[in-house]
């Protein structure tokens, strides 16, 4: 084999080797062929943050106040931003069931921490009168409706919320429907989160 032929083969081998290295190094980073799309890179997982998108701190949103008592509930919330209508109504339903049940049983110990002094004294007298006659107390059979109808905040920070209750009561022999307005009160500056029953009226 002539020296020129050997030189040609060596140069050809070098050219092939250089071309292969270029393909390995650059070929994978080249853009996609014309008319085809590159597969998108997966998006990074977001990291949980206590910052709002604008850069500020994340804050609790105000509860939604609607209905005829909206203005009063707004005033109560401004004085005590722990007030929330949904949470209040959950407690108001439970309070109604507890108070009606305790009154029917004549359970003064259960009633006293839930009632304002005037209401307790009136209901204590009613229980005493019932005990004299031996009459049965009216038990709660069904709570048909419970909704806030009024709310207000006194100048001294006393909050009052009135709830309309419609229910069915029975003593084992008779059944009656009741529609009453119960007003609960709470001092907004107090650390005690509990509301007391302040007044009871018959709904029109």
pLDDT digits (tens, 9 = 90+) for 77-111: 999 999 999 999 999 999 999 999 999 999 999 99
The SS3 of residue 81 is coil
Residues 130-143: tens digit of each pLDDT: 999 999 999 999 99
Number of C-beta neighbours around residue 71 at 10 A: 12
Statement: residue 15 has pLDDT above 80: no
CATH architecture of 82-202: Roll (3.10)
- For the chain, the structural domain boundaries read 82-202
Give the pLDDT score at 64.
83
Nearest to 60 by CA among 28, 39, 43, 83: 83
The stretch 176-194 carries a mean pLDDT of 96
Specify the higher pLDDT residue, 154 or 35. 154
C-alpha span between 163 and 61 (Å, rounded): 25
Statement: residue 174 has pLDDT above 70: yes
pTM: 0.70
User: For the chain, what is the mean pLDDT?
Assistant: 81
Statement: residue 117 has pLDDT above 80: yes
C-alpha span between 104 and 98 (Å, rounded): 10
C-alpha span between 157 and 187 (Å, rounded): 6
Statement: residue 59 has pLDDT above 90: no
Identify any residues that bridge with 139 across adjacent strands, giving them in sequence order: 170
């Amino acid at each position: 084999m002539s020296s020129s032929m050997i030189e040609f083969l060596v140069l050809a081998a070098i050219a092939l080797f250089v071309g292969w290295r270029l393909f390995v190094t650059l070929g994978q980073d080249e853009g996609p062929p014309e008319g085809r799309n590159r597969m998108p890179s997966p998006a990074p997982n977001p990291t949980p943050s206590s910052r709002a998108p604008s850069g500020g701190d994340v804050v609790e949103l105000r509860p939604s106040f609607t209905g005829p008592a909206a203005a009063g509930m707004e005033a109560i919330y401004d004085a005590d931003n722990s007030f929330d209508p949904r949470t209040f109504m959950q407690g108001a339903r439970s309070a109604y069931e507890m108070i009606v049940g305790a009154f029917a049983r004549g359970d003064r110990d259960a009633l006293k921490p839930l009632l304002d002094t005037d209401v307790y004294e009136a209901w204590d007298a009613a229980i005493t009168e019932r005990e004299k006659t031996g009459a049965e107390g009216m038990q709660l059979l069904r709570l048909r409706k419970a909704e806030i109808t009024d709310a207000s905040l006194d100048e001294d920070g006393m909050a009052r919320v009135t709830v309309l209750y419609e229910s069915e009561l029975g003593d084992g022999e008779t059944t009656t429907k009741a529609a009453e307005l119960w007003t609960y009160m709470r001092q907004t500056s107090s650390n005690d989160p509990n509301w007391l029953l302040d007044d009871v009226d018959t709904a029109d």
